[in-house]
Amino acid sequence: MNFPELSGHSTKDALQHLHDDLQDEIRNYKITQNQINIKEKFYNSAFYHRDRKSVFHWPSCVILFTQSVLLLIGYGLAEDHRNNWVVVEFLVLLVVLIINIYITGQESRLRQSELADQVRQLLKQLQACIKHCVWTPSNYPFLYCPVSPSISLQWTYRDGNVVNLPSTLLVEGDIILLRPGQTTPARCHPLEGSTEGIGEDILEGEVYAPNIENQSQPFSQPTARQPLTLKPCMILETPFRKNIRCMLETAQSRPVTVSDNEVFIVGIICIQRILVPVIFLLSLLINSLRYAFLAEDVGHWTELSIILQVHAILPLAPLAAPCMWKMLNLYGLARLITVFKEAKDVDFEPSDLDKFSTESQFSEDEIIIEFKWKHVWARFREMLSGPGLSLPRTANLVHTLGSVTSFCCIDKKGILSWPNPTAEKVFFLTSTAVQADSSSKSSTSDKRTSQEPETGDSPVNEKDTLRDPTYFPECYIEVLDLTHDMKGAFGLHFDDRSWKKHINSLKPLGLNILLNTCNMSTANSLTAFTDHISVAAMKNEDTIATVNRRCLCELARQIGFTDQALSIFDVQHHLGIYRHVPLGAAAKDKLCRSKSFVKHKIPMPNMLSIVAQEQSSGMLQLMSQGTADVLLDCCTEFWDGHELWPLTEADRKRILDFYHRTSMSSYCTAFSYRPLTQSISNELDDLYIELPEDCSHIYPSIRSPTPIRSWDIESLDGRTCKAIYHYPSADSLYSQTSCFSVQDPVECFKAQCNQIFIGMVTMQYQAKQDVVKLIETMEKACIRFVHFSKENELRSRVFSEKMGLEAGWNCHISLLSERQTDEGPTSRAESVHSGISQSQRASKISSRYSTDFEHIAKARDIHQTFSRSSSEERARRHSAPSTINIDNSQVKFSKPNQDGYNDTCDTSTLIGQSLNTTPTLTDDSQLVFDQGFDSSGTLIVEADATCYLLPSQVNDTMSQLPEGVDTAQALSQQEIDLIISHSESHKTSNTDDSMSLSNRAKLPKGIENIRPHLEQVDNVPLLVSLFTDCTPEATREMIEIMQEYGEVVCCIGSVASIHNTPVFMQADISIGIEPLYPQLCMRQPVMTDPWEECNLSPVELNVMLNNLGCSLSFGRDHNISMVHLIAEARSHCMAMRNCFLLMLSYHLTICLVQFVGSIFLLPPVLSGYHLLWLIFIVVPILSLAQMGNPVDPYTMTLASGKNSDHVTKQVVLQYIAYYSLRFFPTIAICLLCFCLTLKAMCDQVAPNPDSCHRLLGNINDTTHHSWRGWSSRHSTGHIIAQNQMLFQLVLYFVCTSLSFVNRYYNLWRRGPLSNKLWCFGAPVLIILQVIYFICDVAIQSTPDSAISVADIPVSTWVLALVWPVILIPVLELIKMQEIKLSVRYQKRAVLNFGTKLGMNSPF
């Protein structure tokens, strides 16, 4: 693997290169921004009137500036400058305008440079890392760490050593080693190799696929193949540069949040653009009419035409609201980050997984996290002064989590599941003698009974119904179930407490696991073998490489083995065998499930063996594992725990039956063993053996190879089998040859025949415990958990069910584009004829371009009725199931023509034929079953495929035929109506009822068909919880479609993958999770050496770089339960909505009080400084008090609305109705008390009581432009009346805020005492108002005035103080109606959330 002449970058040079590249990208971005013209900059700024993320635009500046100028003009044109407070108002408005402009400009600048500032901060840490860090190979992930789609790693030279470098850290000039079959991480240039491809750059995403020597030459004997070698290449570009560029370019394009949209529509459009001009014009009209017709009863013209209009719209001007909005957002984010820091370290109790409750309510312990306020204050100051660590301005975490409707996960392994599959079932065979020793059998067994048809010519009379145990012992299938320990990645235990009675059968399996599967000395050989067959499989586009090896140490430990068991063996050789699937079998193996096509790739049979020598005796042992088909071909006996017995054809079919059925949803590996009497030459260690496609003639005469077809009608008929069986003698273990050293491939292959079948182990990825709990929480919170799976429909649905996602109707959609499956053959055929240079290039760098044209033409000629699967070659880390694609087509059944292949036939005719049913795997240990079963385990037959019957159904059919009638002839003459759907005979307790996994609903397939479906059919694609066959591009586009239809998307994914950046940037917010790294063996850690916490490790730096586009990041050992964050965000958003709704109501009330006072010809009911007191002191205190509510568990049961139709006409009318009921009586009471007070004051000063008008005052007062003396001689009375009016408003505002404290509870259910902030602020505000009343009257009153507060009539005080007693019950009645309306809306929303009924649903 090492190339002595290559050394690559040093760590410091590479990190410095990365630092310079990222700095260069920041510099280029800054240059690009500076080149934007002023017009574009204005459009991108927060002052642009269409910017929904801002609450203060240039029209807001115009409103405030106009008000300030009008106040100054009004004061300057006045005859006497009695009201000096106008100057104070002017200065206050001017200062507020400047502050709002500064805050908005600062927020706009920080928002546009937020991500760039994040990168600059990271560059500082990177520079410190360059100075102090010295990375050694042991600090990188293990070199042979299994590949995972959640983690991007690349073999790279650093400091002269080959390390498993995170792809994010690759830089220009790095020397990488491309493994055969691997996708290139970036554009690179090959450094050495054959003349083919020299001088040509390898583009990013191309597959390195060199030619296998002499692969195209025909052969009929086992042939040695040289293992494919690694390809050293030089990286020509830093791959992470494009990620940084993507982040910087798309950072400002995230969707506007629901809260920002609501504030923009209500605060900007409805108030500033509609209500302010309307109020201003109406007030100007009314006061102009007053001046025209009642000039003696009003004040100076400047007051009527200027000052009163400014005062009327002053409450609606953006004064304190913009600053409050920004501060509350930052406060909520600081609090959320504090909760995040505390909640992620909360231990998750394993016992909580079983606590699934049907209650819809959450307990306070589930959602409330204790934290220290000093931490909130520290983070608030940090974000106020500059960029925060959670992208508070470009991706508002609080707003999005508070209104999230879809929670999307784009990675599985290490995120949703444990990184390694664990054993679920152990399969082995036992004989009658062993079974008789067991008094009871709790494990699953499938007995081969004497009533079954014999599968060969037996020495026993065919008519005898009993089988001779000497030749054919009755055998049983034993399947032991295992359960994964949820506390760890590898822990497991047997479900059957009496499993130890099978210990003799399990011991060989445990030893094989330790010597072969979990032997670290075989890691290099396994990797090389995997790479080789991944390229070899490209010869036929319908096949795929299959290797399945993961850690089973814990299973061996449960069986009883310790690590010391390996010390008595020395591994000497590693042997690999593989063969291609014949083109005929490949075509016939294309099966489809009911009502949808399943285009699949056939697995390449392979087997990897090790030769181990016992140190004590020197005996050689051969331990093999691989796919069941090729391994069974090499086996002649099985071990029942006590003796060896010959494998019959029926046994083989039972083994394959289990293998196929479990491979649908699990990862199944077969194991075998034999002692060796010959030594293996060391020269064969560097070779692999390829078997011919038709290998029946190369096996020993003891048996023929396993048929390509799993269930064959003739082989099931007891009269047609020709196999010869031996007595159960140990002699069959030894070869007929003498004990010499094996030198050539043929003898090496023969040495691997005559093995003993030990058993099989099925493995499965298990959902992590906190993920299962998270999904349950999301469901209760009406948040749709959506899994974007890179795997196919079958495997994705199986794992989704493990997580608890729905798997019924309308539950999943494949995003695999149909053009990706249709373009393949044409493009490949054209590439063959495009010239020698292109074919030469294809031989080195190709996804499957090295396919021989003659094979393609031959396949087309022979199998013209079969549709070829031509899906695009995936990366090595993608599982084989991702090659299964689901098409929306109807079921078509076929019958064979003269050539034995299919022509279209009527659906009423069903032909029973046999078929190879091999599973599909990849080096990522994932299998695909090539045909479907229904819930009873019955085979389902589709279009473009032959139709088949299971053995049990064939047997049932055979029993009804007359003796002597040929089976095939009888079947072809019958019209069988879907016998398949009625059989239960093949269902055992091992058969999952979930195997019929096809989605029968007519949902769109392919990302290009999602939008047309949503526009023309129904909205079911927005309601499903699973998307399969996903690529990063398709995932990003699907998230964009969801956002177009109002979904608020929170995306979680791996921050160890370089491919997730575009998806992260598309979502409303993204949360990065550091995945758990897969391990080749549990005894081999991911990183061998511990790392100093003060310095950055390669993995940590990789996480920090990929996390730049994420708002939050979880570590590997953190609890990813989002319930605390969502509850905190929802409570904060609801409190903010409540706060500004109450502020809007107060401001409208203040505005209407003045406007109605002008209509009723009253003197100014409030002065300018009174308005400033209300706007800047009273209203903010009462509004901000709404933020003091504790987190309410009830908020977690509310369904969030979509990010569309934010403020509808119905919502506006509803608000107007409830506002009128709440505040119109209060406005009337306040104005009535104002009139009564003025009347009483007038009676005190007027010489004739009859001269006092109830509205106009003393009509005999002739003071010019003085409001009949209220602004001159009798100003004390006017001031007292205004202060009484102000006191009443404050009192009524406090009473109204009491009803807003708990919006979803009436006072008799939950009082206001839970809100400590309101309990403190409301009494203090009333006290301050009393003090303000006294001081204002004392300061503004004239010394010689005969009017005092005592002159206020008692009736006015009684009316003012009695009204709150009536007001509070009235407000509670109104709130009761609001609660009923909200409950009705929530029920409808919850119903819509849980319903996926489209036009093709079954209801």
pLDDT tens sequence across 995-1036: 444 555 678 889 999 999 999 988 889 988 999 999 999 999
1232, pLDDT greater than 60: yes
Greatest extent of the chain over all pairs of C-alpha atoms, in Å: 142
Task: Pick 659 or 1345 by higher pLDDT.
Answer: 659
Sign of the alpha-carbon torsion through 165, 167, 172, 175: positive
CB 353 within 8 A of CB 486: yes
Highest averaged pLDDT of the listed ranges 61-70, 851-860, 1086-1095, 1191-1200: 61-70
Q: Is 601 exposed, middle or buried (0-12, 13-18, 19+ CB in 10 A)?
A: buried
Q: What are phi and psi of 37, to 5 degrees?
A: -70, 170
Tokens of 322: 């913009």
- What residue has token string 């974007």? 788
Q: Give me the mean pLDDT over the 751-769 stretch.
A: 90
Rounded to 5°, angle at Cα 1148 from 1142 and 1151: 145
Phi, psi of 521 (to 5 degrees): -70, -15
Write down the H helix ranges in 225-343.
Answer: 240-250, 258-263, 276-293, 301-302, 308-313, 321-343
pLDDT at 1141 over 90: yes
Cβ atoms < 10 Å from Cβ of 1187: 19
The answer to whether the beta carbons of residues 1011 and 813 sit under 8 Å apart is: no
**Among 85-99, 248-262, 702-716, 1351-1365, whose mean pLDDT is lowest?**
702-716
Looking at the chain, the whole-number percentage of residues with pLDDT higher than 90 is 34
CA proximity to 1116, closest of 1094, 1138, 1097? 1097
Q: What pLDDT is attached to residue 442? A: 40
81-90 mean pLDDT: 81
Residue 1279: closest CA among 1164, 1177, 1148: 1164
- Percent of the chain beyond pLDDT 70? 74
What pLDDT is stored for residue 1197 in this prediction?
Answer: 87
Per-residue CA distances from 890 to 942, 943, 1000, 1017, 1020 (Å): 8, 7, 10, 19, 20
CA distance 146 to 550: 9
Supply the pLDDT for residue 1123: 87
As a whole number, mean pLDDT of residues 514-542 equals: 83
Q: Do 320 and 1176 touch, CB atoms closer than 8 A?
A: yes
CB contact set of 136 (below 8 Å; sequence gap of 6+): 1089
Confidence of residue 1177 (pLDDT cuts 50, 70, 90): very high
Predicted pLDDT at 466: 39
Tokens representing 1052 are 């979680």
DSSP 650-670: HHHHHHHHHHHHHHTTSEEEE
**pLDDT over threshold 90, residue 276:** yes
Higher per-residue pLDDT: 1078 or 601: 1078
How does strand 153-158 pair with strand 161-166? antiparallel
- Whether the pLDDT of residue 581 is over 60: the answer is yes
pLDDT by residue (tens digit) across 877-893?
Answer: 333 333 333 333 322 32
Tell which wins on pLDDT, 607 or 977: 607
CA 705 to chain centre: 45
Distance CA 1249, CA 1246 (A): 6
**Average pLDDT for 1156-1160:** 90
List, for residues 672-684, the tens digit of each pLDDT value.
999 988 888 888 8
The pLDDT assigned to 132 comes to: 81
Residue 1223, both tokens: 């505040």
Average pLDDT rounded to a whole number, residues 372-379 = 88
Angle at 304 between CA 300 and CA 306, to 5 degrees: 110
Residues 1001 and 752: their CA atoms lie apart, in Å, by 49
Residue 848 near residue 538, CB atoms below 8 Å = yes
Query: What's the pLDDT tens digit per position in 1328-1379?
Result: 999 999 999 888 877 777 778 888 889 899 999 999 999 999 999 999 999 9
Distance CA 601, CA 537 (A): 10
Residue appearing with tokens 């929306």 = 888
pLDDT in tens, 438-467: 544 444 444 443 333 333 333 333 333 334
Residue ranges with strand state E in 137-291 = 153-158, 161-166, 175-178, 188-190, 223-225, 231-235
Q: What is the mean pLDDT of the chain?
A: 77
Cα torsion angle, 1028, 1029, 1032, 1033, sign? negative
Cα–Cα distance, 979 to 972 (Å, whole number): 14
| Range with lowest mean pLDDT among 303-317, 366-380, 808-822, 1229-1243 | 808-822
Q: What is the pLDDT of residue 962?
A: 41
Q: Are 544 and 871 in contact (CB under 8 A)?
A: no
DSSP 8-state secondary structure symbol assigned to residue 704: P
Distances in Å between the Cα of 502 and the Cα atoms of 556, 762, 1056 are 14, 18, 43
How wide is the angle at C-alpha 1225 spanned by C-alphas 1220 and 1231, nearest 5°? 120
The dihedrals phi and psi of 1356, each to the nearest 5 degrees, come to -65, -45
Contact 1255, 1235 (CB under 8 A): yes
CB 573 within 8 A of CB 680: yes
Assigned token pair, 404: 């999230």
> How far is 1394 from 1378, CA to CA, in rounded Å?
24
Poorest-pLDDT segment among 203-212, 533-542, 1228-1237: 533-542
Distance of CA 1238 to the CA centre of its chain: 67
The model's pLDDT over 278-291, given as tens digits with 9 standing for 90+, comes to: 999 999 999 899 88
3-state secondary structure of 1032: helix
Name the amino acid, one letter, at 924: D
- For the chain, the residue count is 1403
pLDDT of 363: 73
pLDDT at 660: 80
Q: Which residues contact 455 (CB under 8 A, 6 or more apart)?
A: 648, 649, 650, 653, 715, 716, 718, 721, 723
Nearest to 428 by CA among 251, 206, 651: 651
Where does the pLDDT of residue 399 fall: very low under 50, low under 70, confident under 90, or very high at 90 and above? Answer: very high
Judged by DSSP in three states, 1164 sits in: coil
Cα 107 to chain center, whole Å?
A: 30
Rounded (10°) CA dihedral 833, 834, 835, 839 = -80
The angle subtended at Cα 912 by Cα 907 and Cα 916, nearest 5°, is 115
The pair of three-digit structure tokens given for residue 280, joined into one six-digit string: 């201003």
How far apart (Å, rounded) are the C-alpha atoms in residues 1317 and 1186?
A: 8
Residue (of 1251, 1118, 1210, 1137) closest to 770 by Cα position: 1118
Dihedral-angle region of residue 956 (phi above 0 means left; psi in -120 to 50 means alpha; beta otherwise): alpha
- Using the predicted structure, report yes or no on whether residue 359 has a pLDDT greater than 80: no
pLDDT digits (tens, 9 = 90+) for 502-520: 899 999 999 988 888 787 7
Contact (CB, 8 A) for 967 and 718: no
Residue of 799, 994, 921 whose CA lies nearest to 409: 799
| Whether residue 829 has pLDDT greater than 50 | no
Give CA separation, 1336 vs 1277, 1287, 1339, in Å: 12, 12, 5
